[in-house]
Structure 1
Amino acid sequence: MASVEILDKALEVIREYPLCDSCLGRLFAQLGHGVENAERGIAIKTILHMTLVNDYRKGKDVVRDLTALAKVHKPTRRFLASVGIKVEEESCYICGGLLTEVEKYADAALPLLSEVDFNSFAVGTTIPREVLDRESQVVKKFLITTGESIKHEINRRIGKELLRHLTGKRVDKLRPNVVVRIDLVTGKASVERNPVLIGGVYLKLSRRVSQAKKFGDVKTTLTEKLAYVKDVFGGGEHVVHVSGREDSDARMLGTGRQLVVEVKQPVKYRGSVPPLKDDDVIFIPSTFTTREEVRRLKEKAKTDVKLYRALVLSERELSAEELNKLGELSGKTVTQLTPRRIKRLSPRKKRVRMVYELAWRLVSPHVFELYVRCQGGLYVKEFIHGDGGRTKPSVSEILNTYLEVLELDVLAVE
């Protein structure tokens, strides 16, 4: 857009609507980077003033335009007063004066921010509906395509004002530690504390530890074991997100399973999480992570390849030759209805998973060791004992005997 076009468009708007420096300059915010909207608006008004005064002195009929400009431009009011034309100042049609002291809203947030030890922040505001409607009206009427929204300007200006008082902090619009909320309708401020997310891996050494809930002979949970993580950040509560899950009586061995500990409402965002090692659980923290990583973990659990070891009891005696029949199951697709032990959740839901490879070792006539390499999400116990025909094919079906899983371990998550 050429400079003449900018001035013509600005004058066209001002003839109909009195606009403050910021609201006028904001209509052309995409033109001239590194300039504040108010500075841009002052520059436009100043050039219009010079042009119109010059035209007036040449005898051109520009009193109407000068009068429109004078409503929002003090030098123009002074000039018209000098030639006997008095014009009263008018408030801005769009913001109604809201932008003249917008930085003051930062003052309300500073005491709240002092309660949190954070690194980054973003600003969000609630703007009076009528202000947004008036801005939209002007933009649509004059086909403005070079502007920015008043909400964007207010957020930026409050953010800059906060930065003046917050040493060592930065604005992060994508993943801020905290979000400063300013309601310009009520004048109130609040601070939202986003959760801290810590990635890592865990190993479960006990057969009496569940992931989240206590039941039966479960003595503790992974969630309880990792409660100390929230204390590092002064959080109110925590949630553990895991890439898949194993039964409470199954150990998680090998290189462990990935997880993310989410600490809600932290009071600080800096801290070092020490590893945990006891008789039940080993947790090795890695780095701060993101909500996207939590979603990735959940999705990854569906496609992970897992290696299990099971110790299996047979109702009848088995021979090594009979166990060789299990080779038929390698590379097979297994169809499972929701297991009876959890069918209250979705009794007829069907799940289809791949069994990639099996290996076995006869321990005694009634006991054998089975290694299952399979797609994530396979109900391994049910794949072994058949779950009363709800899982097909199954190890029990192939061996034609009742089977009970004595032990189950996850050896690897690939």
Structure 2
Amino acid sequence: MDVVDILEKSLEILKAYPLCDSCLGRLFAQMGYALENWERGFSIKTMLHMKLVTLFRQGVDVTTDLKSLARIHKPTRRFLSTIGITVEEAQCYICGGLLSNVERFAKEAVSKVDGIEFETFAVGTTIPREILERESEVVKKFLVSTGESIKHEINRRIGKELLRLLGRRVDKQRPNILIKIDLINGKIDIVKNPLLIEGVYLKLSRRISQAKKFGNVKSSLLEKLQYIRDMYGGVEHIIHVSGREDSDARMLGPGRPLVVEIKQPTKYKGLPHLYSDGDVIFIPLGFTTRDEVRKLKEKAKTDIKLYRALVYSDRPLSEEELRKLAELSGKTVVQYTPRRIKRLNPRKKRTRMVYEIVWRFISSHVFELYVRCQGGLYVKEFIHGDGGRTTPSVAEILNTYLEVLELDVLSIE
């Protein structure tokens, strides 16, 4: 499409609909470069004005075209008034004047983010449905294929003004805050997106749970990580963990991956410090995303874990008998939900692999086990059998009642 085509098509559109500079220019947004839509529309109208006035002075009857242009072009109205023709200014058919100063919403939004320490933002707008319908009507009627949507223009213009006023980066994928502007009622809301901090933790106590306190549990990992919520000024924090160990099991070795989610923070800068109190060690590693949280939880099902267990046998065992445990290496273990948690789903069945099992004889009634297995294996039940709900089990192979005295997670691969 060349300049002549643009002028001819624009005149046809303006004869049918009065459009402001922005709404006319937006129909040709894909043409030209580094121009705002209002600049395109202003230029098109100026060229049309020059062309039509020249034709009129040459004796061509273009009065109707001049009147159509004059509805939304002041210089053309002035020209017509010199020849005794008065034309009333019309409101833009598409936006109704909304785009004349849409940047004003950016100025109002700036006061709303006061007190929030953020680095990135995005803009979202709600536009009156009738405006979108009128734009669609014009685009379809004149088969416009070179434009952009009014919503895109509004978001871009407000975002550009906010960029200038705030001096922060725009991030459409993962912004710290989302500035929501309702152009129907003029309401502006600030959505503070959660902050996700990844790290690893070690649990050195046998009286610390992950989230809930119960029984002889003295504290929880969630409770101890409250300092992170406070640091970022959040209203709540939750944790996402790659698997779970019992409250009486220690988490040793390089630690277990964890993500702390801070809801509605007022600060998005700076990493928390390492936490250590003798019971728990948390090592923050950096900021992460919701996608990585999903991967973390999925990975827990396929992780390979190494456990150490101290086991008591009701009857005395010999080293020779413990050698029978070799047959459990490479076995698939079938487990129904353990009795201690069967209230959740008593008949749920899972299968997990035991890759390797090693033992150390301590005394006739006590031995140590090292179990390398697939994530999700109920290790305690694998050892004592859970009354037959887990098979095969260590107790089944040794034909004795077993009790797990201590359990530690040594590594997660």
TM range (shorter): over 0.9
SS at match of 1:302: coil
- Cα distance in 2 between the residues matched to 1:267 and 1:4: 54
What is the match of residue 127 of structure 2? 127
Contact 2:304 2:372 (8 Å CA) reproduced: yes
Structure 1: gaps of 5 or more residues: none
Contact 2:209 2:217 (8 Å CA) reproduced: yes
Contact 1:126 1:183 (8 Å CA) reproduced: yes
Contact 1:307 1:412 (8 Å CA) reproduced: yes
What is the match of residue 298 of structure 1? 297
- Cα distance in 2 between the residues matched to 1:351 and 1:60: 87
Q: In the TM superposition, what whole-angstrom CA distance separates every residue of 1:147-174 from its partner, at most 9, and x where no partner exists?
A: 222112111211222223224x121111
Contact 1:202 1:284 (8 Å CA) reproduced: yes
Indicate yes or no: 2:9 matched with 1:33.
Answer: no
Residue 140 of structure 1, CA deviation: 2.3
Residue 369 of structure 1, CA deviation: 1.0
- Cα distance in 1 between the residues matched to 2:412 and 2:69: 71
Residue 373 of structure 1, CA deviation: 0.9
User: Pairwise mapping of residues 307-346 of structure 1 onto structure 2 (< 5 A)?
Assistant: 307-346=306-345
Contact 1:330 1:355 (8 Å CA) reproduced: yes
Aligned Cα RMSD in Å? 1.6
Contact 2:271 2:284 (8 Å CA) reproduced: no
Residues 80/379 of structure 1: CA separation in 2 closer, same or farther (3 Å cut): same
User: Pairwise mapping of residues 94-243 of structure 1 onto structure 2 (< 5 A)?
Assistant: 94-167=94-167, 169-243=168-242
Contact 2:358 2:371 (8 Å CA) reproduced: yes
Q: Match for 2:11: what amino acid? A: L
SS at match of 1:89: coil
What is the match of residue 75 of structure 1? 75
Q: In the TM superposition, what whole-angstrom CA distance separates every residue of 1:77-120 from its partner, at most 9, and x where no partner exists?
A: 22223333322111011110011121111222222211211111
SS at match of 1:364: coil
Residue 388 of structure 1, CA deviation: 1.8
TM-score, L = length of structure 2: 0.96
Indicate yes or no: 2:9 matched with 1:14.
Answer: no
Contact 2:325 2:394 (8 Å CA) reproduced: yes
- Cα distance in 2 between the residues matched to 1:392 and 1:5: 80
How many pairs were matched up?
Answer: 413
SS at match of 2:362: strand
- Cα distance in 2 between the residues matched to 1:10 and 1:412: 70
Residue 61 of structure 1, CA deviation: 4.0
Residues 10/319 of structure 1: CA separation in 2 closer, same or farther (3 Å cut): farther
What is the match of residue 373 of structure 2? 374
Residue 350 of structure 1, CA deviation: 1.8
Residues 6/351 of structure 1: CA separation in 2 closer, same or farther (3 Å cut): farther
Residue 213 of structure 1, CA deviation: 0.3
What is the percent sequence identity of the aligned residues? 70
Residue 176 of structure 1, CA deviation: 1.3
Contact 1:232 1:272 (8 Å CA) reproduced: no
Q: In the TM superposition, what whole-angstrom CA distance separates every residue of 1:201-228 from its partner, at most 9, and x where no partner exists?
A: 1000001100000111110000011111
Q: In the TM superposition, what whole-angstrom CA distance separates every residue of 1:321-378 from its partner, at most 9, and x where no partner exists?
A: 2222222221222222221211111222221221111111111112211111111111
Contact 1:108 1:188 (8 Å CA) reproduced: no
